[in-house]
Chain A
Amino acid sequence: GAGVSQTPSNKVTEKGKYVELRCDPISGHTALYWYRQSLGQGPEFLIYFQGTGAADDSGLPNDRFFAVRPEGSVSTLKIQRTERGDSAVYLCASSSPGRGGSYDTQYFGPGTRLTVL
Chain B
Amino acid sequence: RKEVEQDPGPFNVPEGATVAFNCTYSNSASQSFFWYRQDCRKEPKLLMSVYSSGNEDGRFTAQLNRASQYISLLIRDSKLSDSATYLCVVRGGATNKLIFGTGTLLAVQP
Contact = CB atoms under 8 A, between A and B. Distances in A.
Contacts, number: 51
A56 B42 contact: no
A48 B102 CA distance: 21
Top 7 nearest A-B pairs (CB, nearest first) are: A42-B100, A108-B43, A45-B97, A103-B96, A43-B100, A42-B102, A56-B95
Interface core residue of B42, B89, B96, B103 (most chain A CB under 10 Å): B96
B45 interface: yes
Interface of A: 31, 33, 35, 40-45, 48, 55-56, 59, 91, 93, 95, 102-103, 105-111
Interface string B60-102: 0000000000000000000000000001010000011111111
Interface in B22-76: 32, 42-46
B43 A45 contact: no
Interface residues of B, number: 19
Contacts of B102: 40-42
A108 B36 CA distance: 11
B43 A48 contact: no
B56 to A, nearest CB: 18
A29 to B, nearest CB: 12
A109 B88 CA distance: 19
A56 B97 contact: yes
